[in-house]
Amino acid sequence: MSFTRVLIANRGEIAIRIAKAADALGIETVAVHAPIDERSLHLAAADQVAPLSGGDPLAAYLDIDTLLRIATDHGCDCIHPGYGFLAENAAFAAACAEAGLTFVGPAADTLELFGDKVRARALAASLDIPVAGGSPGAVADAAAAAAAAAEIGLPVMLKAAAGGGGRGMRAVERITDIAEAFERCSSEASAAFGDGAVSVERLVERPRHIEVQVLADLHGNVTHLHERDCSVQQRNQKVIEIAPALGLDASLRDRLHADAVRLAAQAGLANAATVEFLVSPETGDHYFIECNPRIQVEHTVTEQVTGVDLVEAQFRIAAGARLEEIGVVADNADQSKIAEVSAAAGRLPAVPRGYAVQARVVATGSGAISAYHEPSGAGVRVDAAGYAGYTPPPHYDPLLAKGPS
């Protein structure tokens, strides 16, 4: 099985990234854009371009019916959602399947499971993967959030139950601040994910944020591609990422990898996902917080240290390839296969080679970019969608570039 043409249901630098991977695999690309994105750089990276209608710049990229129509009209056989927008939308994945299009990502039931942070935590707990204390489900209102916080013990974190990426999150140290935090979280979650549900978790203070990249194929094979440290954040948004994590205890690293693979396998994951943990600086204990069943912004540092192109892997897995066919040995594979796969791939699969660091450049104000210069040199990689004269729309994630790594 192979793909001939993909609709990229996204914009900006991730749309460019997907187009590059598709081009390397000989897959033609169709880019979409809201009217305000007519000068977006991702349009130049695609073979074909299709406009999205509507006056709401955000809603345009969330219009499932229009995206499916465009994909069908342009002869696409698959859709890649990137990250954000509809990347974790189970209804979108199901609609793609009903339309005869392959969704380049996990199946709808997996998206539904991990899209519900409460269900995901329950699954982890059932596998004896540590989780921080929290509400048994989404809380109905601010009063219920306050009651849950009182039972869990302050401080707590209010979180969007149906999303990620730092949106819809607030740390709360006083009961009197719960009402405002709840309203803000619910409003942000509704705008970003179309679901204002909020849950409450015990806050692990000053933690390390460690996430494990996992890959799984359609044949039941699952593996990890090591971890990233995403502890440097601003307003719950990751700013600096490094792979692999520095100074991580070897036994803790092994537990994180094993827990991530077990969770992915039990959930029936097939494609790419990131399993995220918090590590207490005082005790060294780790706690599962969520699994994002999609490609992540910081996937590039994992690619740099493992040599595995994760977006190409997404396409190939969706087309039916086994992990060993893309140069990765599954955790449950016969270890005698390592030499065989290594020889075919020209390297020892997924063994970290040094370290990679990624920094994000975001638009913090309004107006056109007056000057734009990207760094270059040995070992430097930049994924970007900015250029001199470009005016970043205020309606989307403000990420303009990431790198070097």
Considering 167, 208, 228, 294, which one is annotated as catalytic? 294
Report which of 117, 120, 104, 121 is spatially closest to residue 294, judged by C-alpha positions.
Answer: 104
pLDDT of res. 331 = 77
Residues 6+ apart with CB under 8 A from 98: none
Question: Which residue is associated with the tokens 């039931």?
Answer: 109
H helices present in 330-396, as ranges: 337-345
Percent of the chain that is helix, strand, coil (3-state, to 5)? 35, 25, 45
**Stretch (H or E) spanning 361:** strand 356-362
- For the whole prediction, is pTM greater than 0.75? yes
> Which residue's entry shows tokens 């917080």?
289
* CATH fold for domain 5-104: Rossmann fold (3.40.50)
135 burial level (CB within 10 Å; 0-12, 13-18, 19+): buried
Give the pLDDT of residue 351.
64
Q: What is the CA radius of gyration of the chain?
A: 21
Domain 133-202 falls in which CATH fold?
Dna Ligase; domain 1 (3.30.1490)
Q: How far is CA 59 from CA 52, 63, 66, 192, 396, in A?
A: 10, 6, 11, 10, 11
Question: Which CATH code for domain 208-345?
Answer: 3.30.470.20
**What tens-digit pLDDT sequence spans the chain (405 residues)?**
589 999 999 999 999 999 999 999 999 999 999 999 999 999 999 999 999 988 899 999 999 999 999 999 999 999 999 999 999 999 999 999 999 999 999 999 999 999 888 889 999 999 999 998 888 888 999 999 999 999 999 999 998 877 666 778 999 999 999 999 999 999 998 887 778 999 998 888 889 999 999 999 999 999 999 999 999 988 778 999 999 999 999 999 999 999 999 999 999 999 999 999 999 988 999 999 999 999 999 999 999 999 899 999 999 999 999 998 998 888 765 544 544 554 554 444 456 889 999 999 999 888 999 999 999 999 899 999 999 999 999 999 999 999 977
| Coil, helix or strand at residue 161 | coil
240 is written with which tokens? 């600096």
pLDDT of residue 330: 82
**Contact residues for 150 (Cβ-Cβ < 8 A; gap 6+):** 175
Cα separation, 152 vs 154, in Å, equals 7
294 is annotated as an active-site residue: yes
- Predicted confidence at residue 241, as pLDDT, reads 97
Domain ranges of the chain: 5-104, 133-202, 208-345
The DSSP output letter for 53 is P
Q: What is the DSSP letter of 95?
A: H
- Three-state SS letters, 159-197: EECCCCCCCCEEEECCHHHHHHHHHHHHHHHHHHHCCCC
